Structure 1
């Protein structure tokens, strides 16, 4: 066994656990309830009979659990949220439904229609708390009447495979649905407190879950430009509807000037940036010199990996201006993997394991006398296809892979990162974490004096 493998494995796992723990709704809900939600309820709905709760996203169930624990018996909570299948949990008053992600299914459409109908009938003196987290776009997808649901599903598949950044993907989603891009807020007459867990760079609530309670400044023209720019294979019904919107024959999503948003207050309780800060503090306390690239890292996973690998080589070479080992390089955000239709059917892995596979390829000739290790994982516990959260590289793995005849380059070309890391026994399997603040990437060069 290479030097420190067991210790480094524990170290990398602890980074993931610290990051996920920092983003759990239970961590910050008590203070948010006492300092923000409760005063807001008293100010906006002093004569309330009950508090309605709606929401969507991978963290929806855990957000409800934390909210119910803080509210106790002081408020009458009632409502419904929808989360990704397998991410549910027991609740006392608010119903939790489950549906498919990332491609919407009929269960999600039914849940979204139910929420939309509820919001349309809530009395004005009863407030609404909206719990929104990443993944909500697909879970709240109800197409406009001109687009069959099967076409909306196909559009989502094509958008996810085209390599576009999430904000551009969501621009299209907002303009072909009845529920996203502020349209949930538009349907509601009551005051809304929107509590958000961010999984997008910059934490713009209009991008998170496609902003069902937020103004949308994008347009039909923007949506069509995304289709053209990324060569999205959109169904004819989608193209016809977007063209209808371009002619002014379909309603635009509500904009910031709309009066409906005066009743919406938004607070972000967890984010990728806050998670990175927690992991950076954890590694600094261990003795690492931490270089954090922040939460805005986007691009093709394999290309982003090349930049990270170049940084590792600079540290190894003791280049001027670079910190001395031990060094930890952190980044967050969301990379993409562009696939053809054929590749979508055969690919196995996800953006994080593909990132790490590209790192392995770029550093295949690395002199490992100085220990090198890495982790890349999605904080929701699911990275693409395969049931894993991500993958790891431990000291000595690069040489071991070569000795086994495993070609990182070949697996990159096939987009089968899952198979590579499974053969190396380096998949990170956690199951659903009940939160989602996007990706965590940790590359370490050298080791401090770990006990």
Structure 2
């Protein structure tokens, strides 16, 4: 591991090094090859979707025997194809589409992927490369629905404050390819799913809305979620859910017999990698949880309360230490037009609750390198964040109410900008108390 800067003298660099270690642990090039099955007697077809899709395709192409046939198609987010693979190409085609709201390119890619897996036999193998973001990128509307229908529901879900589990329950029931339907189309071929988890609990049925695994949720569940969050459904979507016509394949379905599911990178593994690096530098690290959910600003307040207890009373942990957490928080958008994502919202809530607590520095960022739809992965809060904001005429509380964290942290020079990381194990938060 690289040498860390002294946490007392360079907290920003220290926290950034922890974030980088977390991302490094989840890079497909580091972890994918160990999970590959042997080549089959028949064909090997690669399909996939997600923000890590391009890097997963590149890692698979490099690790798969040169003499073994390999072909397929993977869809990833715009600008998320590793430059080296984009330049040289390979045996697996990688196309790009929109995230978090699906577009026509994603629909076209999903239709091609559905066609690729059909007509295979029992000696053939489908390698499914699945990572976070696949729900939007692999968008093939259920019969009777249009892409515009899917876009409208997706936008409403993103603004509603629904959890990722709830959002993906609705998404899979309005899809012709998610919720296990992709694997069902591939029968009788064997399917091996290689997953990078971006969801609390690492449920394969939630990651990218589970295109290759059976679905335990129901149309009734999807309807209940839409009622809970006042999601307006297009008439065809409501009819399909109410009639059960959009029901997904369930556990026990024989079409999934013999299939394999491999989690090749998870949020917990990335948090543990960051913790190991901190301890190597002589700073005790405590992983709070990799499954934290809830409203981002409220989660920020809770983290701030814990950091204050450590800073003031040495309880429940002694300082110096770093507190680490992951998961996927939510933002219920009440005022449109703000610029910022979950990490920025968490940090503003945390900064306001800390009120300049001495010795507490915080980094929050998304491991895919993009916080929401802005150019940053996240940002950093320091003991003087509120004072510097006041001196610049910025009002953090008002910014938080407008969901407008990005301009504030940009003005303070506190953004964490990494560019696409080519992986995705979701939220990363580190609170350093010295």
Q: Which residue of 1 aligns with 2:277?
A: 282
Which of 43, 54, 68 is residue 47 of structure 2 equivalent to?
Answer: 54
Q: Which residue of 2 aligns with 1:269?
A: 264
1:360 and 2:351 aligned:
yes
Cα pair 1:84 1:98 within 8 Å, conserved: yes
CA distance in 2, matches of 1:7, 1:14: 11
Number of residue pairs matched?
423
Q: How does 1:149-188 map to 2 (within 5 A)?
A: 149-188=147-186
Q: Which residue of 1 aligns with 2:401?
A: 413
Q: Which residue of 2 aligns with 1:296?
A: 291
Cα displacement (A) at 1:4 = 7.7
Q: Which residue of 2 aligns with 1:449?
A: none
State which drifts further: 123-132 or 393-402: 393-402
- Cα distance change on mapping 1:121 and 1:350 into 2, 3 Å: same
CA distance in 1, matches of 2:291, 2:7: 32
Cα pair 2:7 2:14 within 8 Å, conserved: no
Cα pair 2:161 2:331 within 8 Å, conserved: yes
Scaled by the length of structure 1, what TM-score is found?
0.91
Cα displacement (A) at 1:131 = 0.6
Q: How does 1:31-430 map to 2 (within 5 A)?
A: 31-33=34-36, 37-38=37-38, 41=39, 45=40, 47-48=41-42, 50-89=43-82, 90=85, 91-189=89-187, 190-245=189-244, 250-319=245-314, 321-340=315-334, 343-344=335-336, 346-366=337-357, 368=358, 371-430=359-418
CA distance in 1, matches of 2:239, 2:376: 38
Cα displacement (A) at 1:251 = 4.8
Cα pair 1:158 1:234 within 8 Å, conserved: no
Per-residue displacement from partner, 1:326-346 (whole Å, max 9, x unpaired)? 121111000000014xx34x0
Cα displacement (A) at 1:402 = 3.0
Two-structure CA RMSD over aligned residues (Å): 1.6
Listed as ranges, the gaps of 5+ residues in structure 2 are: 1-5
Cα pair 1:5 1:394 within 8 Å, conserved: no
State which drifts further: 6-15 or 255-264: 6-15
Cα pair 2:241 2:247 within 8 Å, conserved: no
Per-residue displacement from partner, 1:90-144 (whole Å, max 9, x unpaired)? 2410000100001110000000000001111234322111111001011111111
